[in-house]
Amino acid sequence: MKRRNLIKGLALLPIAGGALSKESVFASNSGSSAVFSKSSSLIDAGEVITETSFMDESNIFRSIGVEPIINCRGAYTIIGGSIELPPVREAMEAASQNFVQYDELAEGIGQRLADITKSEWGMVSAGCAAGMKHVTAACVTGGSPEKLIRIPNLSGFEKNEVIIPLYSRNTYDHSIRNIGVSIVHVTTPEELERAINPKTAMIYVNAVDGSFTGQPFSLEVIAGIAKPKNVPVLIDAAAENLTIPSVHLQRGADVVAYSGGKAMRGPQCAGLLLGNKDILMAAWQASSPHHGPGRDNKVGREEMIGMMAAVETWVKRDHDAEYKNWLKRLDTIAKKAQSIQGVKSYVTDPAELSNKHPTLWISWDPAKLNITGYELVEEISSTKPRVAIGSREESDGTTTIDIVSSHMKEGEDVIVANRIFEILSRKRSPKSDLMTAPAANITGKWDVDVRYFNSTVKHTFTIQQDGNWINGTHKGDFDVRDINGTIEGNQIKLSSILRMSGDQITFYFSGELSANAMTGDIHMGEYRTAKFTAKKSTDKPVRKKVQVPKGPPLAT
């Protein structure tokens, strides 16, 4: 699959042969659909959202003190993924009305998904990551329940290694590691050839640039090496549009994993697995309702039927019309913002299947409007009505916000346009670059107590101060990383980044200096917050002369 640019304003329909091979399982004997009624819309319908209706105090989230959000970011799980389409909600409601034997349900859905997607088999999991976990279990156990109930203790297992190209390491491969396998990194086809051995359970590939057709270590190259050795390949295409038949299966993958709650707008807590039937039957065996390591990833009959409905709906949706509507929403926002002098905008179209939606970029000179994109994002996300958008600083000195409209509801584009206009057009005084003189010099070693939700651990800062600027090191639970920041008066702001293969955690320390102590808060992004206190170490530095040998040792 070569990288390609879409004609601006149009989306290529990512399906081949949209006709279904069998009647919908929701069709009644009379030929009408029990779920997809004629009044049902395949895209959002109903009232147009206004600021008044959005701010209605009867909103169920406000009833518990939680403020809802207008989503201009995309299908991020942290803010709810996507909103299920009407046929999906109707299917889930219909599924909630009866009991059913889950293995029979899984087989019926597996065949139906195979028919729709032109795959060998299909499976619904409790999210894409859960599906990846179940496939890993399937490849490790070969479908043996005796092995399944021993996971994550893989001692005595014939297969306990998973190979991952280094470019594919990501936060979500925790689901693979949860099975207890050893991870083997490779960076070239030659390394892959050498790495495959009798202990290799599978190869995991993330559908990112390095896996694209034409790349030196593409999925085709990996599959070409793996297939003669009977090593299955799993590819993670979570945020991608569904292609029929799946381009990844055609390119050599044995199983492809999708998120149900992103592009397909199915249940947020569902995932879609397509591919090799034997592997997926073993993956279902490793999934709830069966006991073993997958019991904690429960998927209900409502989500299973809802996910199947999302796939059925996918092949009926007018993807071109949806895309044009997304562009129309962005145009509403862009025109309003560009009415402010000095504000510019442009739209980018996606080149690949992942996160396949247009993005609006609005930019300005922060020195002229006296506000940065980051500051706008902070304000618009924390005041009502709340809006989730992104931002970045450009190399030419301008600042930018980015807006996605694919998960907005009708009318929300007007609310967003008005909010951005109000914030950007507001008169502000120029900012001063002057920094308040530091209250003290904090150069030295600091003993830090970090108080998490249910534990307190010891960390260490080693700080060098140059005026208002701070650099040094932060010793955490397991390693030492760089730390930097500022001190203005007695206010201290520091940050350090913990980097691991596939993972990253940024620690933002915000505290107050008093005598030889600091106290404050730590912001850790998705990992929430913590508290810290730090005291300057009274340990004296070690002073010892170094004796350099004059020659090689005469004894050991």
- What CATH number is attached to the domain comprising 301? 3.40.640.10
Pairing relation of β-strands 386-388 and 69-71? parallel
Q: State the CB neighbour count (10 A cutoff) for residue 78.
A: 9
- How far apart are alpha carbons 151 and 147 in whole angstroms? 7
- Give domain status of residue 542, yes or no: no
The candidate with the shortest Cα–Cα distance to 406, out of 67, 42, 71, 53, is 71
224 and 115, same domain (yes or no): yes
173 shares its domain with 189 = yes
540 pLDDT band, cuts 50/70/90, is confident
> 41 versus 551: which is more confidently predicted?
551
For the stretch 450-470, pLDDT in tens is: 999 999 999 999 999 999 999
Q: Which among 398, 425, 452 is the end of a domain? A: 425
Q: What is the edge-to-edge ordering of all strands in the sheet holding 271-275?
A: 121-125, 271-275, 255-259, 233-236, 200-206, 161-165, 182-186
CATH of the domain at 369: 3.90.1150.110
Flag whether 125 is in a domain.
yes
> Is the predicted pLDDT of residue 35 greater than 70, yes or no?
no
Residues 261 and 296 in one domain: yes
Domain shared by 409 and 463, yes or no = no
pLDDT at res. 188 = 98
- Total residue length of the chain: 556
CA distance 183 to 231: 15
Token digits for 228?
């003669």
pLDDT band at residue 3 using 50, 70 and 90 as cut-offs:
very low
Answer whether residue 277 is part of any domain: yes
Whole-number pLDDT of residue 46 = 64
> Where a domain ends, among 269, 285, 314?
314
- CA torsion sign, 283 to 21 to 249 to 310? negative
Q: Is the pLDDT of residue 1 over 90?
A: no
Rounded distance, CA 456 to CA 447, Å?
A: 13
Strand, helix or coil at 124?
strand
Q: 481 lies in which domain range?
A: 444-536
Look at residue 184 and tell me if it is in a domain.
yes
Q: Which of 20-34, 50-64, 190-204 has the lowest mean pLDDT?
A: 20-34
Give yes or no: residues 128 and 147 share one domain.
Answer: yes
Q: Is residue 202 part of a domain?
A: yes
Instruction: Calculate mean pLDDT across residues 105-126.
Output: 98
What are the tens digits of pLDDT across the range 213-260? 999 999 999 999 999 999 999 999 999 999 999 999 999 999 999 999
Q: Does residue 356 sit within a domain?
A: yes
Instruction: Report yes or no: 315 and 116 within 8 Å, Cβ to Cβ.
Output: yes
Question: CA 365 to CA 397: how far, in whole Å?
Answer: 7
Residue 19 tokens, joined? 């006709």
Please, where are the H alpha helices in 383-529? 412-425
Residues 137, 247 within the same domain = yes
Residues 397 and 521 in one domain: no
What would the pLDDT profile of 275-334 be if each residue is shown by its tens digit? 999 999 999 999 999 999 999 999 999 999 999 999 999 999 999 999 999 999 999 999
Q: Which of 454, 455, 357, 361 is nearest to 408 (CA)?
A: 357
Mean pLDDT for the chain overall: 91
CATH number at residue 476: 2.40.128.120
Whether residues 193 and 255 fall in one domain = yes
Q: Give the whole-angstrom CA distance, residue 551 versus residue 556.
A: 13
Q: Please tell me the total count of domains within the chain.
A: 3
The answer on pLDDT for 47 being more than 90 is no
Note whether 416 and 400 are same-domain residues: yes
Task: Output the pTM of the full model.
Answer: 0.88
Which pLDDT belongs to residue 377?
A: 98
pLDDT score at 248: 97
Residue 544 lies in a domain: no
The answer to whether residues 247 and 330 belong to one domain is: no
Find the distance separating the first CA and the last CA of the chain, reported in whole Å: 60
Q: Residues 83-97: what's their mean pLDDT?
A: 96
- Does residue 490 have a pLDDT over 70? yes
Evaluate if residue 173 carries a pLDDT over 80: yes
The two three-digit tokens of residue 143, written as one number: 């479908």
Long-range contacts of 38-45 (CB under 8 A, 24+ apart): 40/86, 40/87, 40/90, 41/86, 42/85, 42/86, 42/87, 42/313, 42/316, 42/317, 42/318, 43/85, 43/317, 43/318, 43/321, 43/322, 43/325, 44/83, 44/85, 44/86, 44/409, 44/410, 45/86
Q: Alpha-carbon distance 433 to 430, whole Å? A: 10
Strand partners, 184: 163
Give Cβ neighbours of residue 374 (< 8 Å, ≥ 6 apart): 391, 393, 399
State residue 442's pLDDT score. Answer: 96
Q: Which of 257, 280, 314 is the C-terminal boundary of a domain? A: 314
Facing residues of 402 across strands?
361, 390
Confidence of residue 45 (pLDDT cuts 50, 70, 90): low
- Span 192-217, mean pLDDT? 97
Residue 76 counted as domain residue:
no
Burial of 112 (0-12, 13-18, 19+ CB in 10 A): buried
Cβ atoms 60, 68 nearer than 8 A = no
Distances (CA, A) of 492 to 146, 447, 518: 56, 16, 8
Q: From residue 167, give the alpha-carbon distance in Å to each of 202, 215, 387.
A: 16, 12, 33
Question: Which pLDDT belongs to residue 44?
Answer: 61
Say which residue the tokens 């559908």 belong to. 207
Nearest C-alpha neighbor of 189 from the set 227, 217, 230, 165: 217
Give dist(CA 246, CA 241) in Å, integer. Answer: 10
pLDDT digits (tens, 9 = 90+) for 367-381: 999 999 999 999 999
The stretches of 4-96 forming alpha helices (DSSP H) are 51-54, 86-95
Q: Are residues 306 and 331 in the same domain?
A: no
Q: Residue 272 in contact with residue 110, Cβ under 8 Å?
A: no
Q: What CA–CA distance (Å, rounded) separates 135 from 257?
A: 9
**Element holding 184 (H helix, E strand):** strand 182-186
**Between 535 and 42, the higher pLDDT residue:** 535
Q: Same domain, yes or no, for 176 and 246?
A: yes
